[in-house]
Amino acid sequence: MTQTLPTQPPRTPPGRRPPADPGHPPAHRGLVGLAVRIVLLAVVDALAVYGLLALAAQHKWGMFGALLVGTVAVNVIYAGKRHVPAKYLAPGVALLLVYQVYVVFYTGFAAFTNYGDGHNSDKPDAVAAILAHSETRVPDSPVRPATVVARGDRVGLLVTLPDRGVRLGWAGHPLEPVADPVYDSVGRAVAAPGWHRLSYAQIASRQKEISELRVPASEDPNSGSLRTADGISAAAYRSTLDYDRGADTITDRSTGKVYRPTSDGVFAAADGTRLSPGWKVLVGLDNFEKILTDRDIRGPFLGVLVWTFVFAGISVAVPFAIGLVLAAVLDGKRLRGHRIYRSLIMLPYAFPAFLAALVWQGLLNTDYGYVNVSLLDGAHIPWLTDPWLARLSVLAVNVWISFPYMFLICTGALQAIPAEVTEAARIDGARRGQILRHIKLPLLLTAVTPMLIATFAFNFNNFNVIYMLTGGGPKDPDAPIEVGSTDLLISLVYKLAFGGSNRQYGMACAVSILIFVVVAAISVVGLRRSRAFEES
């Protein structure tokens, strides 16, 4: 939307348009313009500086660089009088980079990773999660009231025992009795000699440090370490796993089992047991290989591919035929009320497609739908639950949704054919049928072929109709992966990425790339064949 901004008509009326030569504008306009420009650039730069500071604080250096380059470019382009074409192009290019190029490259990149459930972050996160999950409370150990106290930079835990005894300890320094603790009104120790209590705000500002604090419960390592989760109580925990940073291995303390990182992005032991979660790694062409070689995926994939072609082909051919016939019939002004017919034919096009699909889903219900109950006198035809009928229903509904568009296109194309051409044919003695076949159709096809190719590409990825009408079903309970009779490639991608049991974003991106290759090939070949661009 915003991409069209630079080409929008100027807001100043044509009469007051600045002269083409920017060197000699009226003096007062120059001053106002300059002032406005300086103010706006200043605002932009101020925002950019804020963004840069925020990014630097988060150590997001990639984004930092991109913003810096972008800001410099904006200043260079708009500060001076030169770079006039760039002034028009820059916004569009920026939006293209952000919303198209970045997305395309990210999809391309993700297709070569194992990004998905269990592999959603980086390795340090995975190690942290594994260790946190392995930390269990020492059996039968109590949760005690605790106070977070500090001495200089050091934080410690002050634990009050039921007998008002008080223990103090800090990282690497086991709990030991405190001589003269300070109690609050409810008998809870809040300070010890040399140690002062941290206020809630102070705890809030040192949260990371406090939540990572582990105070050994005693000299015996088996008694675990005290930690506080909420800042007011503490309990002893014991970790069953140890991470060795140098060797990059995780060891199970009780069994001695050693887990090593694998190329799949998980820690795995020699016997094959794995620790969850794993992390994102590049897996090369594994995803593509799996689609093409794994029998569980390849079989359904090929079936879906064929059905996608059939669906897209019929969804173009049948609506086009219906639209063409209707357009030809209603083209002549001899039919009375042709305007009314035209408006009525446009109705299905006026509904949002996904709403129409939902309504049709209700209409086609086997036992309660209008089609079976009222139109077919109580028949129980499983329109959406029988595989072949479901395919038929999906096609029928899609034809119903899309023929008005074809009708519109054909009407426009027919009306664009000059009257002289048909008149000349008629003088030469051609009949109506001959005029249609030899004159109008060829002219019409030249005009609509690019449209047909675009419609094919659209229907190739027509997610809405499938998802809303059948959800890809009916599914065969025996199929190895969750694929139904009416699934298109795009709904298969959706199921891989968001449906089913495991989110497999990397795999879904790989299928998207395959779809892109297919659609691009068809479009290129189709457009070449039609020579649509040569003749225009």
Partner 1 sequence: MRPRLLLPAVLAAATLLVTACAGGGGDKGDDKTAPPASAPAAGNGSLTVWADDARAKPLQDIAAAFTRDKGVKVKVVQKGLGEIRDDFVSQAPTGQGPDVVVGPHDWLGKLVHNGVLAPLELGDRAAAFSPVALEAMRYEGRTYGLPYAVDSIALLRNTELAPQAPASFDELLATGRRLVEQGRAELPVAVPVDAKSGSPYHLYPLQTSFGCQVFGTKPDGAYDRTRLELDGPGCQRFGPWLRGLGKDGVLSTSLTADIATDAFLKGKTPFLLAGPWDAATFRAAHVPFAVDPVPSADGSPARPFVGVQGFFVGAKSANPILAQDFVLNYLSTPQAQRALYDTGGRVPATTAVLDQVKDDPVVAGFARAAQAGMPTPNLPAMDSVWADWGLTQLAIIQGHGDPGELTGAMAGRIRAKIAAG
Q: Count CA within 13 A, CB hemisphere, residue 179.
A: 2
Regarding 388 and contact with partner 1 (CB under 8 A), the answer is no
**Which H or E element spans position 174?**
strand 173-177
Residue 368 or 533: the one with the smaller Cβ distance to partner 1 is 368
Task: Work out how close the CB of 414 gets to partner 1 at its nearest, in angstroms, rounded to a whole number.
Answer: 40
Contact between 186 and partner 1 (CB under 8 A)? no
Q: Does residue 385 belong to the site contacting partner 1 (CB under 8 A)? A: yes
Instruction: Give the residue with the Cβ less far from partner 1, 138 or 353.
Output: 138
Instruction: Convert 312-371 into a string of H (helix), E (strand) and C (coil).
Output: HHHHHHHHHHHHHHHHHHHHCCCCCCHHHHHHHHHHHHHCCHHHHHHHHHHHCCCCCCHH
Q: Which is nearer to partner 1, 30 or 313 (CB)?
A: 30
CB of 78 or CB of 349, closer to partner 1: 78
Binding mask 422-451 for partner 1 (x = CB under 8 A): ------------------------------
Residue 181 is given by DSSP the state P
Beta carbon nearer to partner 1, 262 or 415? 262
- Give the nearest distance from C-beta 161 to partner 1 in angstroms: 16
In the list 61, 109, 183, 498, the residue contacting partner 1 (rule: CB under 8 A) is: 498
* Shortest Å, Cβ 388 to partner 1: 14
Contact 146, 187 (CB under 8 A): no
Rounded to a whole number of angstroms, the minimum distance from the CB of residue 126 to partner 1 is: 6
Beta bridge partners of 234: 144
CB of 510 to partner 1, least distance (A): 18
268 binds partner 1 (CB under 8 A): no
Q: Does 384 bind partner 1 (CB under 8 A)?
A: yes
CB 481 within 8 A of CB 297: yes
Work out the number of other CB atoms within 10 angstroms of the CB of residue 524: 11
Q: Measured from the CB atom, is 450 or 474 closer to partner 1?
A: 474
**Cβ 201 to partner 1, closest distance in Å?**
5
Using the rule CB under 8 A, which residue among 179, 201, 270, 427 binds partner 1? Answer: 201
Q: Are 440 and 448 in contact (CB under 8 A)?
A: no
Regarding 188 and contact with partner 1 (CB under 8 A), the answer is: no
Is the C-alpha dihedral spanning 132, 136, 138, 142 positive or negative? Answer: positive
- Tell me if 366 contacts partner 1 by CB under 8 A: yes
Q: How far apart are CA 136 and CA 238, in angstroms?
A: 5
Rounded to a whole number of angstroms, the minimum distance from the CB of residue 123 to partner 1 is 11
How many angstroms separate the Cα of 132 from the Cα of each of 126, 142, 144, 234, 355?
10, 20, 21, 16, 46
Binders of partner 1 among residues 209 to 248 (CB under 8 A) are: 210-211, 228-233, 235
- 64 versus 516: smaller Cβ distance to partner 1: 64
Contact 461, 488 (CB under 8 A): yes
Establish if 171 lies at the interface with partner 1 (CB under 8 A): no
Total residues contacting partner 1 by CB under 8 A comes to: 106
Site for partner 1, residues 95 to 154, rule: CB under 8 A: 95, 98, 102, 117-118, 120-122, 125-126, 128-130, 132-133, 135-137, 143
516 burial type by CB count under 10 A (0-12 exposed, 13-18 middle, 19+ buried): middle
Closest CA relative to residue 149, chosen from 192, 206, 181, 186: 192
Query: What six digits make up the tokens of 192?
Result: 């010890």
Q: Before 22, cis peptide (omega within 30)?
A: no
Question: Does residue 41 bind partner 1 (CB under 8 A)?
Answer: yes
Q: Which residues, in sequence order, are CB contacts of 490 under 8 Å at separation 6+? A: 460, 461, 462, 463, 466, 515
Name which position in 140, 163, 420, 478 contacts partner 1 (CB under 8 A). Answer: 478
Cα distance between residue 465 and residue 488, in whole Å = 10
Cα torsion for 514, 520, 525, 526, to the nearest 10°? Answer: 120
**Under rule CB under 8 A, residue 415 binds partner 1:** no
How far apart are CB 464 and partner 1 at their closest, in Å? 16
- Residue from 261, 300, 323, 473 touching partner 1 (CB under 8 A): that is 473
Q: Nearest distance from residue 58's CB to partner 1, in Å? A: 5
Radius of gyration of the chain (CA): 35
CB of 269 to partner 1, least distance (A): 15
Sole window of 85-93, 162-170, 397-405, 407-415 interacting with partner 1 (rule: CB under 8 A): 85-93
Q: Which of residues 280-339 bind partner 1 (CB under 8 A)?
A: none
